[in-house]
Every structure is written in C-alpha cells, then in structure tokens.
A and B are shown apart, each in its own frame.
Chain A
C-alpha cells in the first residue's frame, strides 16, 4: 500500500512536470542553502581551529595607540618585560609597513616587518634556508623573505634564495634567509608568508610611518594569558609618553571570532530559511492547483470508499515525495557549493555530520508543513460537489 502510494505520487508529479519542477527547485535551493551554511560553517571552524593549534593559544599581541593612530613602544622597556613579568616567556616588538619591492625585474607590493631576533621563536616561523635577522645586523642591508613572497618573486630562470638581491626604493637588500611556509596566524596584523623582514633600524629607513607600534609575546605554559596581558599593559603604561597600550590574547580573539561566526551562521541560516519558506509556498501552490484539478478524482475515490485520511495521505505523500527529492538535490547542491568555497579559499573540505540529515529533515518537514493545508482542503471536499466538477 505504501509502495503503491509512493509510485502513484511519483506518477502524479510527473504528470504535471513543469509545476513539480518549480516547487522542487524551491525546496532544493532552500535545503542547499541550509547544507551550504552548515558545511561552510564547519569548514571555517575547522580552519580556525587549525590556525589556532598551529599558533598556540598562549600568544599575545601588543599594540601601541596614540591620538593620531598608532603609537610607539619603548624598545628597551619592551624587550626587558620577560624579566619583570612572571609568566611572560618571550616578547618581540616589531614595526609594520608596506610598499613596492622588486627583484630580477619582478615588482610586487608587500608588507615590511621590522623585527628583532626574538621574532622568529615568538611567531614560530622556521627557516627553509639561511638564518634569521640577528641583533648584530643593525644597519647591514640584510632581509629575510616569507615563503609566498619568495615564490612570487622567483622566475623560472632565477629563484629567490640566500644571496639574491631585493630592491626596496633606494636600498638594495641581500636575502639572508627564506622562511618555511606557515599557516597565516589570525592574531598577526600581517601574513608572515607574504612579508619582507628586516632589522628595526633598516625598517625605520624603508617605512613611511616608522613607528614601533606592535609586539608579539608568549605566555608561559602554566600562566593565564589574560592575566599576563593585563600585566604587560600595566608595566608599559608609565614609560609611554603619550598614548596607550592594548594587549590582546588569543583567547579573546577566539571569542570574537566565535561571535562573528555565529553571526555569519545566523545570516546564512536566515537565507536558507527564506528559501525554504519560498520552496514551501511553491509546494503549497502546486498542491492547491493539483487538488483543484483532481476534484473529480477525489470525488470518485470518496464514493468508492476512501476515507478523509486516505485522501489526505494521498496528497501528503505527493508533498513528501516532492520535498524529499528537492531535499536530496539540495544536499548535493549545498555540498557542491561548500566544496567550491573550500576550493576557492584553499581550506580543507569537511562535511559536518549533522548537515545531511538536518537538510533532508528540514526539507521534508517544510514539504509536509506546506502540503498539509492543501491535503486537508482535499479531504474536506464534498463528494457530490467534487463529482459534479467538469
């Protein structure tokens, strides 16, 4: 009986192909949006978790602010911080700027980082070749390049490697180190992979706003990063002539990201819900037309002994079959969309375990919800009136 009912429903839906297709597309887009939302959310969560795992949750970002914008950190005092604050193991103040560089006729715009030798352990960057900037380098024209930048500046005939020359404005730097690729850190104001690193004195020469405004630090494994962050702020306050210090911990950033992610999920969820409602209205519309067209059939069925429930389930089965098919295509569409997103962003494609059952469930529920009213309408038809319909 159930198999028969489903086969009959499919037959009836095929008989009015165009209308069925329209309702199907509505449900499909709705379910697809829900699936895409969940999967993209899962992909983004996974990626963020991966970045934070690589970066460590003990990282702290220091930023000096002034009334004109970025401020200046006192270099000596900042470097002396680990000795003063218990629970702070390493600190690396750095400058951030950007501009054009060229090598071998290749020109690029990139970020400049003016760094000290402690930057490498704090930011956890490793060298593929050569060495990092050391405190003895000072005004020596030495530079370290990030892996992506090295790749971009290389030509088939001339790879960027230790000993290559890179021109920045009037200055020519010699590459002393090339970094290994690393995951971009969500804490850092610039991607190390795509940066040119020089000593702080050289940074003051090549940057248009030569302020030592930034710093990264690591809290000791047993220390509370938020407490260390507060201690850094208090310790630096007296030596800041003007302006303030802001210290952000990975944990605070993580909380911020989580709330952003919630907003994003909510937004996509709203889009999915709207599409599903539209799809549902489509289902309702085709079911109502179908009921109208098949009044005589309903009359005949009632006359030969169908109960109200038989008639109701006839139309509900159609709505369920339609929305199930729409949901199935929607799952595929949503996964394809999320896969495309993963390909474009370069993030790892993961399927959230809840996405598929939820998408299918939501689309069937929508179909049944919007199919219910037409089905009840059909079952309430007066058989005499229904039979008289031409």
Chain B
C-alpha cells in the first residue's frame, strides 16, 4: 500500500546541510498497524509529513497503492490527502467554532458533498467512535478523549486508505489513552484501514503488530509481533 524508496530529506540551515532522512525505504502493506518510535530529532515527524503529503522529500520515490503521488501538483495533492489519508494530531486540532458533526464532516464538505449527505455520514462515523450523544456539542464542551474521538471520526469519514496519527495519546491520561488505542485497533480490524501511529509511549507501541524504530534517518528496527 505504502511504498517509500530511498527517501532522503535534508534541510539547509546556514552553511551546513542537515540530513534528516537518509535513503529511507519502507513498505507497509494493506490493513497493517504500525507504530513508529524514535528519539527526538530522529525524523519521525518529517517522515510522517512526507507520508501525509504535507512535505516533499529531497530525493526518492513514494507511491500510495501504486500511484506516484510526488508527481502530483499541489492542488492534486490536496485532493489526494482528502481521499487517501486521515490525520489525527496530538492536540486534536478541532475547529473551535464548528460543532462535533460539522468538524467530522469537514473532509466531505471539501469534496463538494451536499451538506445533508455529509451530515449523515459524519453522524454515522461519530456513532461508530462512540459519540452518538455528542453530535451538536462544540469542541469546548468535550473532554480530551471525546475530542480525540471526534478527530478520529473526522479522519475516517472520507474512508481513507491510511490513518496517520501523530502522538494521538500524548495529551491524554493513561486510561483514556488506552481507550483511544483500543479504538484504533478496532477501526483497523473492522474498516481495514492502514494505521501508522507515532508514539513515545512504549506501552502503546507494544500493542502494535508491527513496531518500527527510526535512527540516524533510517528504519533502525522493524519488529513484527504475531497477533
């Protein structure tokens, strides 16, 4: 599903060139559930941005489901992001002036879907993540765990192929974090969406069937755990 081949990303800061990712290659298959760990500065976030089509590598090739996504012009990349990828962030990033279902429906609105249909789908997805009774709530009235559920509903509402989660449990207490992790495992199992989770938490990483560790700009460790 995800094919990264010889991905190099370097930043020019003054005279020196900092290489963040160095000829990194990675293949992630359909329906896989991976965690990505690594110390700060190991390039986790850069890798996530490249996979999420928010950033371009300096060199290398990247295909999603066989499609060369780096060749696409910027507005085509927006539509690729919209169709193929769902994002979940550490601090939720819900739009504060939209209620739960409007937040969840946003990706569909950007596809130009009529509001009634988008609302129906967003509500179905909110129900699926366990927020059937919170459709009209504003983000400020929701708890951290509930906000993250809205964010997950928003990420999944467009039926993406890939769910990218950047420290999704970092802002939550352990009990709620585990609930969110269970939700990720469940949607992976039931919807068949590929899940990539960046995390610092070994306890979260240990529950993933495939565990990647970044070091020196490459995949330093690729561990598969039998389910």
Contacts and interface: CB of A to CB of B under 8 A. Distances in A.
B168 interface: no
Contacts of A296: 93
A4 B54 CA distance: 27
A304 interface: yes
Contact of B112 (A1, A299, A300): A1
Interface in B54-82: 54-55, 74-75, 78-79, 81-82
Interface in A296-321: 296-297, 299-310
B212 to A, nearest CB: 21
Given A1-B109, A305-B110, A300 B93 contact: yes
A304 B74 contact: no
A8 B97 contact: yes
Contact of B115 (A1, A299, A301, A303): A1
Contacts of A1: 109, 112, 115
Given A1-B115, A300-B93, A300-B95, A309 B107 contact: no
A100 interface: no
Contact of A387 (B75, B89, B115, B155): B89
B109 A307 contact: no
A233 interface: no
A303 B81 contact: yes
B97 A305 contact: no
Contacts of B79: 305, 307
B52 interface: yes
A130 B82 CA distance: 92
A343 interface: no
A8 B158 CA distance: 22
Interface of B: 49, 52, 54-55, 74-75, 78-79, 81-83, 86-87, 89, 93, 95, 97-98, 106-107, 109-112, 115, 154-155, 158
B160 to A, nearest CB: 10
B198 to A, nearest CB: 14
Contacts of B98: 8
A305 B53 CA distance: 10
A371 to B, nearest CB: 19
B170 to A, nearest CB: 15
A297 B95 CA distance: 6
A383 interface: yes
A308 B81 CA distance: 13
Given A1-B112, A1-B115, A387-B89, A304 B97 contact: no
Contacts of A304: 81-82, 86-87, 106-107, 110, 154-155
Interface in A328-344: none
Contacts of B75: 307-309
Interface of A: 1, 4, 8, 11-12, 15, 296-297, 299-310, 383-384, 387
B115 A4 contact: yes
Contacts of A383: 54
A303 B106 contact: no
A74 to B, nearest CB: 86
Contacts of A309: 75
Contact of A306 (B52, B54, B110, B158): B110
A199 B45 CA distance: 103
Which 3 pairs, one residue from A and one from B, show the smallest C-beta to C-beta distance?
A: A305-B82, A307-B78, A300-B93
Contacts of A11: 97
Nearest to A386: B54
A309 B74 CA distance: 11
A239 B154 CA distance: 100
Nearest to B98: A8
Given A4-B109, A384-B55, A303 B87 contact: yes
Given A303-B87, A304-B87, 7 more contacts: A8-B98, A300-B89, A301-B106, A304-B81, A305-B79, A305-B83, A307-B75
A4 B119 CA distance: 13
Contacts of B112: 1
Contacts of B52: 303
A79 B158 CA distance: 97
5 contacts: A15-B97, A301-B110, A304-B106, A309-B75, A383-B54
A299 B79 CA distance: 15
B62 to A, nearest CB: 16
Contacts of B55: 384
A210 B163 CA distance: 102
A370 B226 CA distance: 60
B136 to A, nearest CB: 15
Contacts of B83: 305
Given A8-B97, A12-B97, A384-B49, A305 B89 contact: no
A310 B110 contact: yes
Greatest chain B CB density within 10 A among A304, A307, A310 is at A304
Contacts of B86: 304
Contacts of A305: 78-79, 81-83, 107, 110-111, 158
Contacts of B82: 304-305
Contacts of A308: 74-75, 78
A302 B97 contact: no
Given A307-B75, A309-B75, A387 B93 contact: yes
Nearest to A12: B97
A308 B73 CA distance: 12
